[in-house]
Structure 1
């Protein structure tokens, strides 16, 4: 054989060996890799029901009058009073869940036309369903004539107000 033929034969053998080693390496890597696992898709779950909204209380009405019944409602609603009248505010409340007992704070703030506070009173109450709470003011020597206002707050927020007059 000629030297040229020998070099070609050696080169061919060398390339063939490299090709086999290269292929073998890829097979070994594939053999060493962990087999691909296919996990089943998680079963669809039904969403948990949303929690029921917390029961809420609200002031539904405020009536003023100079007499009140055992049910804490004013006998005859009015917005005009005599100076020596006892002035009642009947605060009607309601809860979104009639069976829930909701601790709350009701406040009545009575003020004269110039903004001067005549009286302010708060009551801690447990509200359940529909009900009434009574507030009142009186002055034995009589209120000065003029315009007044009562503001009713529920848990610190003014929710209703009523204007009235003493003549």
Structure 2
């Protein structure tokens, strides 16, 4: 009988525990953690784009004005003319000074170089640079061309004739 004495109180205690567990309110489910937000990267100014220079036109003529522009454009010249190439340039930022090297290479119809002249310049805004060829005893009759390069790249070619 001593066994029954122990079983009844243990059974009663176990039943009471189960009843209390069944009546217990469920624990609240923790709220989900708020999403992790990161501060947006501070807005930075884009790096300034370096100003560039370009050749806009090349005009040929036998006279230039005080502004270095050709007075009257021509493609045919006499042997005793001084032939000018007026090279108009422009920078992408009118206030910026852009270093550049302009070259004019003059060639005869057989490919022979008559003259080549280069200038290291600081180009700003719109400008005009002139190059010229002449020969005191006269240029030989024939077809010629002038190639204008900016920083080693040919950017314009003009053909002309001496008659």
Shorter-chain TM range is 0.7 to 0.9
Moved over 4 A (4+): none
Structure 2 alignment gaps of length 5 or more:
1-33
The question of 1:130 aligning with 2:148 is answered no
For residue 63 of structure 2, the aligned residue among 55, 67, 76 is 67
Q: In the comparison of the two structures, how many residue pairs are matched? A: 131
| Larger relative helix fraction | 1
Q: 1:145 aligns with which of 141, 146, 149?
A: 141
Q: Aligned partners of 1:125, 1:52: CA distance in 2, in Å?
A: 22
How far, CA to CA, are the matches of 2:42 and 2:74 in structure 1?
A: 56
RMSD, aligned CA = 1.6
TM-score (norm 2): 0.77
Which one of the candidate residues 84, 92, 96 is aligned to 1:96?
Answer: 92
CA–CA distance in structure 2, aligned partners of residues 165 and 120 of structure 1: 18
TM-score between both structures, scaled by the size of structure 1: 0.75
Cα distance between partner residues in 2 of 1:89 and 1:146 = 18
Following superposition, the deviation at residue 40 of structure 1 comes to 5.1
Residue of structure 1 aligned with 2:48, choices 47, 52, 57:
52
Unaligned runs of 5+ in 1: 1-37
Q: CA deviation at 1:134?
A: 0.5
Q: What's the counterpart of residue 28 of structure 1?
A: none
The CA deviation at 1:119 is 0.2
Question: How far did residue 51 of structure 1 move?
Answer: 1.2
